[in-house]
Every structure is written in C-alpha cells, then in structure tokens.
Amino acid sequence: MSEGDGAAAVLRLFPGSARIDGADLVLGGVAAAALAEEFGTPLVVYCEETLRARARALKEAAAGGHVAFGTKAFANVAVLRLLREEGIGADVASVGELAFARAAGFSGEELVVHGNNKDDAFLRDAAREGATVVLDAPDEAAMAAAAGVKRVLVRVTLGVDADTHEAIQTGHHGSKFGLPPAQARVLVADALARGLDVLGLHVHVGSQLADFDAQAETIVRLASFAASCRDRLGWVPRVADLGGGFGIRHNLDEHAPDASVLAQAAVETARTAFAEAGLPAPEVWLEPGRSLVGSAGVTLYRAGAVKRLPERTWVAVDGGMSDNPRPQLYDAVYTALSAARADEPASERVSIAGMHCESGDVLIDDVALPAPRRGDLVAVPATGAYTLAMASNYNGVTRPAAVLVGSGEARLIRRRETLDDLLRVEA
C-alpha cells in the first residue's frame, strides 16, 4: 500500500506495531478482526511495544529526573506494572488510583499524590505508602503532618493560560488547582515550620498542549517564584515538578510535537531559568499521562445501522459516549479506519454515531470510509487515554474490555463488565 493511500496515512496515528495485511488491520501481530471475534466489541487494544517505547523516550528526555505516569489517563494494573518495569512512577489523585498503583507494586518514592480536596483518610494512606504529597490547599500542611506524611511539594498557580480546551486548563488565574504565589509561599513556610521535607514546587498548565509556549512561560515564572522563596524564606527548592499535559495527535489535521521533545525542552528550560534566577539546577519531575498511553490504544467497534439520509450518512456503532466521552466533553476530533476492509478505497464520507439516547452522541462527525455496511469493524486510533478512564454505564451499558497485544499474542487486562456487575451494586 502506498504512502498516498488513505489507510496508510491514517495508520500513522495508530500504535507503532500497526500494519495493514491485505484487507486487515494488524495490531501487535494480531489481526483486529481476530481480536474482535475473541474478546467482543467495543474493545480497547493496547500495544505493548508502543507503551514501552513511549516510556523509554520520556525517561531519557527527563535526564535523570523522576517520571510518574498520570494514572488518571488509564488506571489499569497491567499497564501500571509494565510502566513500572520501565522505571516510570505513578501519579495518583484518589484512594482508588492509589489502590491501582499499590496493586501494581508501586510504593514509596515511586508515588506522587495529588488532589485539590484530599481528605484525612487519603493522606493517611499516602503516608503509609511513603508517597510524596503535593500540597494544594492552605490547610494541607497541617493535615499532611498530622497524617504522618514526610515529603511534600507545594503546587503554585502562576497565571498562564494554556492554548487548550478551557476544561483542561489548570494554570490560569482563579484555577481550582494550587495556590497563587503569595498563598503558596505561606504554605511553603507552614510546611517547613511543621517539619515536613519540602522537596520543591509543582506546576501544571493544562492538558493536550500543542506547543511549548505556555509551559516555557510557566517555568520562567516558577524560577522567579523559587527565587522569592529563597529571598523571603531562606528556602531553595530541590525539585521542580513540571506536571505533564503533552499532547498527541488524534487526527491527521491535529498538530502535536513529540512528547519526548517537549519533555527535553522542559528540562533544559528549567535548568536555564533557575540558573538565571541564581538558583541551583533543580531535579526535574514530569507527570505524563496521555503521551504515555494515548497513542498506544485503539478502540474497535462493530457497525450496526447505516442510514443514508439526504443530509448525511450515519453509521451507528456498538459504543459511544459511554466508552469515550471526549468528543462531548472537549470537542475532541477523532478519525477511523475500516479494520477488515482496509484495502478498499475510502469512498464515502460518513458520521459515526454512538448507540446512546443523545443526539450529541457522535464519535466522529466526518470521516471517509469504504461504503459502510452492517457488521463492519471500525478502528478508532489514539484512544488509549481518558476513554476507558472516563467510561460510564449510561443507558445501562457494560463498560468495554481491554487487551494488551505484542509479539502476535493478546492478553486480557480488563474484562468486559457483565449485567451481573451492573446489578451487583443495587440495594
């Protein structure tokens, strides 16, 4: 298949192991059609090769700093274990995410605990695991000390507006996360007075960042804030946790620099900015989520009803906003490939609708596919992050299964929910 063909172009958005063999999409050496037959649909397929490659590239870019996976992107024990094998830590923001990380073997300095509303129980759990806790509220130094936490970072919000969807901006003025500089400095002083080991500072400007501009500005402001802490408190941060937010491509028109390039730029910018502020180079920590797992995941759907209307052609699939709410929440734009007819021309422009009782339940508004028919297998790339993690049981559907593929084998890493699972929680 030539590089000019539609399927070949879309294939660039798929995991590194993806290829077209005749009519079939193959992932990790396994045909998508065989995966759908064995495990059913919807099915989220993760490529082991891509997960490991992303982890290694980001570790190298961090230049000796700590890299912790933003578990909220996909809390799964098997994926967490794989990332831990590659030297990646875990960033968790709830007792549930901490439980996933613990089950995967994480403990101690591998763990970074977040949350803008941590309660005493969560902080006690974090202390028992020996985690580093990111203080996010004025009274959290007192709460952390009482819970037995030893090591902390302080999250500061520096007023930078990232060029991303407003729902995933986090570093702007008035954000619910972190504290503005004056209050953050008070929190640093309080934490020090309570005997906590204040390792450093934490910032995060937003998610799905398409360039480095907002992060670069934030890092420069962070260095200036760190200098003010030295001048007023006599305290110098040893760690600069720059968060994550590196973007990925979900469609061919979307721009997203390679995450490892952005990570390397973050490290170098921090070192330069801190040096220019008269401060020693900090150890840089990063918390990538989407950029570790997003491009490693592909969702397989089975097409059902096909409606050719004067206004548009609708192709309904057996999932939708219950397994991927990002189009509704963030206006996310995806593309698709006909996974068992990939050798046919993409001759018809269609809209892919979900099965739910919402007119807004549209996965892809406009995509070219071979003339669709009931039973087609549709593959949507770049769905490894914030899809299953945000899945629901809307309309009483069961959440999908997930598999890990590599070297021609597939392993179930999350079973499909059953109707018994849905009814089990009913009183």
- Enzyme catalytic residues: 357
Classify 317 in phi/psi space as left (phi over 0), alpha (psi -120 to 50) or beta: beta
Q: How many CA atoms lie within 13 A of 129 on its CB side?
A: 28
Cis peptide before 15 (omega within 30 of 0): no
Residue 108: burial class (beta carbons within 10 Å; 0-12, 13-18, 19+): exposed
269-303: string of b/e by CB count within 10 Å (b at 16+)?
bbbebbeebebeebbbbbbbbbbbbbbbbbbbbbb
147-176: string of b/e by CB count within 10 Å (b at 16+)?
bebebbbbbbbbbbebebeeebbbbbeebe
What is the dihedral angle through the alpha carbons of 369, 371, 377, 378, rounded to the nearest 10 degrees? Answer: 20
Neighbours of 426 (CB within 10 A): 5
| Cα 157 to Cα 54: distance, rounded to the nearest angstrom | 28
**Which two tokens mark 159?**
């007023």
Alpha helices per DSSP H over 66-194: 77-85, 95-103, 120-129, 140-147, 181-193
Which residues lie below 8 Å from residue 232, measured CB to CB, with a gap of 6+?
A: 185
| Beta carbons of 412 and 401 less than 8 angstroms apart | yes
